[in-house]
Amino acid sequence: LVALETISFARGVPAPECLPVELLADCARAVLEVDGARTLSYGPAAGYAPLREWIAERHGVDSGRVLLTNGSLQGFVFLAGRLLEDGPPRVLVEGPTYDRPLKILAGLGADVVPLPMDDEGLDPDGLSAALAAGPAAFLYTIPTFQNPSGRTLSTERRRRLVQLTLEHSLRVLEDDPYGLVRFEGDPPPSLFELEGGDRVIYSSSFSKTIAPGLRVGYLVLPERLAADLEERAQSTYITPVLLSQAIVWEFVRRGQFEPNLQRICALLGARRDAMLTALERSLPPGASWSRPEGGYFLWLECSDGVDAARLLEQATEAGVTFVKGADFFPRGGGEHSARLAYSFVSPGEIEEGVARLGELLPAAAPV
Ligand SMILES: Cc1ncc(COP(=O)(O)O)c(C=O)c1O
């Protein structure tokens, strides 16, 4: 009996060929040879100065407003802890949203309120209603190629969201690790750009543009908050991983950031195409899905009769996995949905995995 190889649409990580291993090896050696003593010691809690400055320049801010952290999720932990310290316990999120922040917020005792979304992203009317119902410590949003849905907030809605932010003095965390991983179309302005970076805090990472194992993420904050979070960083780990940050800087300094990004986008774009084609070919009527122009994920909505948790059990047996939609909601929802990641598997595996799903779906949906 030959064991069936499992095809994972669950893993939201880059395929191994996306990682620029050889280039990073060269950068690591150069950094250690040239700046070894500095990068192997303790240093500034806010991170490696040359990289901070480059990021600050890209976002048009003073480098004192950039906090480099060990992955952007660590920045989320610092920021959420700080904003919940003296704000109301209410935190607004998209429904669905990235599951790890939901767990972190639950751990911090936050009252997490999911807001409605559709194909154009977060619905501003839903946000307006939530703000009318009471104050919130902050809104957590992933406006571009959202995890888990792959959806992107339209420019018109971005403007409305910023308007509401100003009217209600709302704080917003714009989490944008996927924005540069764009296969086609023009990028919309970020909320940070539209608002000016006063109420909107921007978060990103080199996890999707270079490699997640480097653990280099960052926040762009108002100056006061940057200083507060720097203190939190210092009490947590003294110094972030300077060596990784110096390797990222060396990669950038050598002019490898843009060409590598283009290479990654070509590899991931081919996977996105393979998944869209396979879904079209193999899925029964009644199923629908998002069509992202970038990022790692798309969102599958099965017909109402399909219980995605049960489908996942059957799919796992049939050799294909995904993350069920319900995992991305704090209080129910997504029972008929699934997050499909096309980032990790090859185009051939995508075709085969979607075919396996397509065989299960008709039986999973009672007519
Ligand atoms: C929306 C979002 N934010 C943050 C992260 C975490 O990124 P990092 O590796 O920088 O901690 C991820 C990773 O999947 C993500 O999807």
Distance (Å, whole) CA 320 – CA 342: 12
Residue nearest to atom 14 of ligand 1 (CA): 12
CB 355 within 8 A of CB 318: no
Does residue 177 line the site of ligand 1, with CB under 6 A?
yes
Three-state DSSP at 252 gives helix
What span, in angstroms and rounded, lies between the C-alpha atoms of 20 and 304? 42
Q: How far apart are CA 184 and CA 6, in angstroms?
A: 30
pLDDT digits (tens, 9 = 90+) for 74-104: 999 999 999 999 889 999 999 999 999 999 9
- Closest ligand 1 atom to 98 CA: 1
Which residues neighbour 282 within 8 Å (Cβ) at sequence distance 6 or greater?
354, 355, 357, 358, 359
**Dihedral-angle region of residue 43 (phi above 0 means left; psi in -120 to 50 means alpha; beta otherwise):** beta
Nearest to 20 by CA among 181, 214, 180: 214
212 lines ligand 1 (CB under 6 A): yes
Q: What is the pLDDT of residue 189?
A: 98
Name the residue among 29, 53, 24 with its Cα closest to residue 39: 29
Phi, psi of 232 (to 5 degrees): -60, -40
Could you tell me if 153 and 122 are in contact, meaning their C-beta atoms sit under 8 angstroms apart?
Answer: yes
pLDDT at 46: 98
Please work out whether the CB of residue 72 comes within 6 Å of at least one atom of ligand 1: yes
pLDDT of residue 362: 83
Q: Which of 74, 77, 32, 69 lies closest to 51, judged by CA?
A: 69
Strand partners, 341: 297
pLDDT given at position 314 = 96
Atom 5 of ligand 1: nearest residue by CA position: 73
Position 1 pLDDT exceeds 60: no
Cα-based angle 285, 289, 294 (whole degrees, multiple of 5): 150
pLDDT in tens, 343-362: 999 999 999 999 999 999 98
Least confident of 165-169, 250-254, 363-367: 363-367
Q: How far is the CA of 2 from the centre of ligand 1 (A)?
A: 36
**156 — pLDDT class (breaks 50, 70, 90):** very high
Where is 112: in which H helix or E strand?
A: strand 111-115
Q: What's the pLDDT score for residue 167? A: 97
| Intra-chain end-to-end CA distance of the chain, in Å | 35
At 118, list the tokens.
């559709």
pLDDT of residue 86: 86
pLDDT at 364 over 90: no
Phi, psi of 203 (to 5 degrees): -130, 135
pLDDT at position 309: 97
Q: Select from 13, 72, 180 the residue to mutate for testing ligand 1; criterion: most ligand atoms less than 8 Å from CB.
A: 72
pLDDT tens sequence across 224-281: 999 999 999 999 999 999 999 999 999 999 999 999 999 999 999 999 999 999 999 9
Whether pLDDT at 365 is above 80: no
Distance 227 CA to ligand 1 centre (A): 23
Mean pLDDT value across residues 134-161: 98
Q: Give the pLDDT confidence of 173-225 residue by residue, as tens digits.
A: 999 999 999 999 999 999 999 999 999 999 999 999 999 999 999 999 999 99
CA–CA–CA angle 107, 242, 208 (5° rounding)? 65
- Average pLDDT value for residue range 49-75: 98
Predicted TM-score (pTM) of the model is 0.97
pLDDT digits (tens, 9 = 90+) for 98-132: 999 999 999 999 999 999 999 999 999 999 999 99
Q: Are strands 138-141 and 90-94 parallel, antiparallel or unpaired?
A: parallel
Q: Is the pLDDT of residue 3 over 90?
A: no
147 Cα to the center of ligand 1, angstroms: 9
pLDDT band at 304 (very low <50, low <70, confident <90, very high): confident
